[in-house]
Structure 1
């Protein structure tokens, strides 16, 4: 894959992630009994990045998406929560992805990311509040994080199978890594 095409692909995914994130920020929280719980739709872009580009590029994509979303519609605290959740989620998805396509699916990796995103955010909240009692909220957020992760994983799996450009980038990435996720979708 040539360098220009890779830069354009990363830029398009960042832009899509930022737009999805900003739109999601405008939606009122859908879960009255779980304040702050969101669907995490922008994580769809992270999952796609995990399966279409090297770690260095997907990490850059996440950082750019977080920074731009914060600059366009966030605060320092939203950045801290998003950053901690995203980084823990990303690291855990990379670890689970190492199990390989015979042991875990894209949907399972996404569910892991949804759960760990909430863990990262709650650890940050407990650090800011100087109290571990914030973690008592984990079971409620875990349920929604896993559920959202499953839905996002299904959507990512569908997009990777149906969108020809994504399929091309996924196949090129699989050729580089010698791991065939597309055969196990």
Structure 2
């Protein structure tokens, strides 16, 4: 893949993530008994990035999406909540993905990300409130995070299987990983 193609692909995913994040922020929370619970539509872009590009590029994508979404429709506090949830979710999904496709599917990876996103946000809320009692909300938020993660994982899996451009980027990414492993093995 040429550098220009890669940059355009990253820019398109960032733009899609920002739009999904802004649209989701406009939708009132449908869960009256769980304020703050959302589907996490922008995380669909993160899960696609994890499966179609190197870690460095997907990490950049997450940061660009966070910064742009905050600049276009957020505050410092929303940035703190989003950043903590996104980073914990991102690194957790990478860790779970490293177990391999035979042990965990994209849906399981996304469900773990949904759970960890809420953990990160509640940790920041506890820090801001100077009280660990905020963490009592974790069981409720965990349920919604896991269900949202499953939903996003199903959507991500569908897109990676049925969208030809994504299949192309995923295949290219997997080939690059194999080539790096081979060349790294010869250097030892």
| TM-score, normalisation: structure 1 | 0.96
Deviations 1:26-78 (A, max 9, x none): 00001000001111010000000000000000000000000000000000000
Trace 1:21-40 onto structure 2 (pairs within 5 A). 21-40=21-40
Q: Aligned partners of 2:95 and 2:177: how far apart in 1?
A: 15
**What's the offset of the Cα at 1:98?**
0.5
In the alignment, structure 1 residue 177 sits paired with structure 2 residue 177 = yes
| Whole-angstrom CA distance in 1 between matches of 2:39 and 2:108 | 17
Q: Runs ≥4 in structure 1, deviation > 2 angstroms?
A: none
Q: Give the whole-Å Cα distance in 2 for the aligned partners of 1:147 and 1:49.
A: 21
Gapped regions of structure 1 (runs ≥ 5): 179-185
Deviations 1:62-115 (A, max 9, x none): 000000000000000000000000000001001101100111000000000000
Tell me, yes or no, if structure 1 residue 63 matches structure 2 residue 49.
Answer: no
- The residue aligned with 1:153 is 153
The residue aligned with 2:94 is 94
Deviation per residue, 1:139-160 (Å, 9 max, x gap): 0000000000000000000000
Structure 2 residue 18 is matched with structure 1 residue 18 = yes
Rounded Cα–Cα distance in structure 2 between residues aligned with 1:57 and 1:24: 24
Q: Which residue of structure 2 aligns with residue 181 of structure 1?
A: none
Per the normalisation by structure 2, the TM-score is 0.94
**2:45 corresponds to which residue?**
45
Separation (CA, whole Å) in 2 of partners of 1:176 and 1:155: 25
**CA distance, structure 1, for counterparts of residue 45 and residue 139 of structure 2:** 25
- C-alpha separation in 1, matches of 2:2 and 2:131: 49
Deviations 1:103-140 (A, max 9, x none): 10000000000000000000000000000000000000
Gaps of 5+ in 2: 179-188
Question: Does residue 127 in structure 1 map to residue 124 in structure 2?
Answer: no
Q: Which has the larger radius of gyration?
A: 2
